[in-house]
Amino acid sequence: MSDQKRIPQHVAIIMDGNGRWAEMRGKERSEGHIAGVEPVRRSLRAAVRHGVKFLTLYAFSTENWGRPTAEVDALMELFCQSVVNETPELVRQGVEIRMIGDRSRFSPKVQEHLARAERQTARGETLTLILALNYSSRDEITRAVRHIARQAADGAIVPEQIDERTICEALDTAAFPDPDLIIRTSGEQRLSNFLLWQASYAELWFPEVLWPDFTEEDFDRAMEEYARRDRRFGLVSK
Ligand code: FPP
């Protein structure tokens, strides 16, 4: 395998453990989320250094609306502040911001901040940072099925023409390759409705570290772990 093959093109992260990190310190859960911004910067730096081209971060799931209002409001404020504050540095690093998820549920203010960050970083060519916001796989697949059913009802496609590609193209991730590596911090070992279609052949890695404590060295360890994996895609080893 060439060195190039040993570097994942697309890394996706379930940033878990902010709440526990805060509770262990007697702080509000939202303080755990604030502490979760620095490891986003660290991961981005490490991903650029390794030559990763796509980094997806699970920042807010469709289920997260069920959290206490104060926590949801704090997260919305944090997303707005972070994209405004970080955009100049992202432009400098050549990072393009994109989103997956149903953004129509966000307030007009949040939608405007996200859209502006996408516009301002659109020329970035070093790495694409994909924020999963109001995202869940089942919701994404449901919206995709609705879209394909509408095409069929309009006579634009016949059901027999529907193949894996039709589905890939109807998903929020149509413009991106599947993740090669999915990391979930905090020791939990599940995907929690994240990229279920796209994760078919992804390698999974579950470090114990809580997200606010995730370092560049942890990202380096993930790269080392990935390089050791034997990806067969249903075939046999060479
Ligand atoms: C999961 O931990 C984390 C979240 C739901 C929010 C993630 C948000 C950030 C890391 C803020 C910064 C992000 C960006 C993109 C600027 P949890 O609250 O479920 O933790 P717990 O399982 O310990 O309760």
- Considering the domain boundaries, does residue 132 fall inside one? yes
Cα of 236 vs centre of ligand 1, distance in Å, is 38
- CA of residue 41 to ligand 1 center, whole Å: 14
The answer to the question of residue 74 being in a domain is yes
Quote the pTM value. 0.95
Residue 163 within a domain: no
Residue of minimum CA distance from atom 12 in ligand 1: 37
- Ligand 1 pocket residue status of 78, Cβ below 6 Å: yes
* Atom of ligand 1 minimally distant from the CA of 59: 7
Residue 57 lies in a domain: yes
User: Ligand 1 within 6 A of 62 CB?
Assistant: no
How many domains would you assign to the chain?
1
* Distance of CA 123 from the midpoint of ligand 1 (Å): 28
Catalytic residue numbers read 16, 64
For residue 235, being part of any structural domain is answered with no
Q: What is the pLDDT along the chain (238 residues), one digit of tens a residue?
A: 445 569 999 999 999 999 999 999 999 999 999 999 999 999 999 999 999 999 999 999 999 999 999 999 999 999 999 999 999 999 999 999 999 999 999 999 999 999 999 999 999 999 999 999 999 999 999 999 999 999 999 999 999 999 999 999 999 999 999 999 999 999 999 999 999 999 999 999 999 999 999 999 999 999 999 999 987 788 887 6
Q: Is 34 in the pocket of ligand 1 (CB under 6 A)?
A: no
Give 153 Cα–ligand 1 centroid separation in angstroms.
40
**For residue 113, is it within any domain?**
yes
Q: Is residue 20 within 6 Å of ligand 1 at its C-beta?
A: yes
3-state per-residue secondary structure call for the chain: CCHHHHCCCEEEEECCCHHHHHHHCCCCHHHHHHHCHHHHHHHHHHHHHHCCCEEEEEEEEHHHHHCCHHHHHHHHHHHHHHHHHHHHHHHHHCEEEEEECCHHHCCHHHHHHHHHHHHHCCCCCCEEEEEEEEECHHHHHHHHHHHHHHHHHCCCCCHHHCCHHHHHHHCCCCCCCCCCEEEECCCCCCCCCCCCCCCCCCEEECCCCCHHHCCHHHHHHHHHHHHHCCCCCCCCCC
Verify whether ligand 1 is closer than 6 Å to residue 64 (CB atom).
Answer: yes
40: Cβ below 6 Å to ligand 1? Answer: yes
Per-residue pLDDT tens digits for 107-160: 999 999 999 999 999 999 999 999 999 999 999 999 999 999 999 999 999 999
Question: Does residue 164 form part of some domain?
Answer: no
**Which residue has its alpha carbon closest to ligand 1 atom 7?**
59
Q: How far is the CA of 80 from the centre of ligand 1 (A)?
A: 15
Is 215 a member of any domain?
yes
**Domain extent at residue 108:** 4-136+179-228
CATH of the domain at 64: 3.40.1180.10
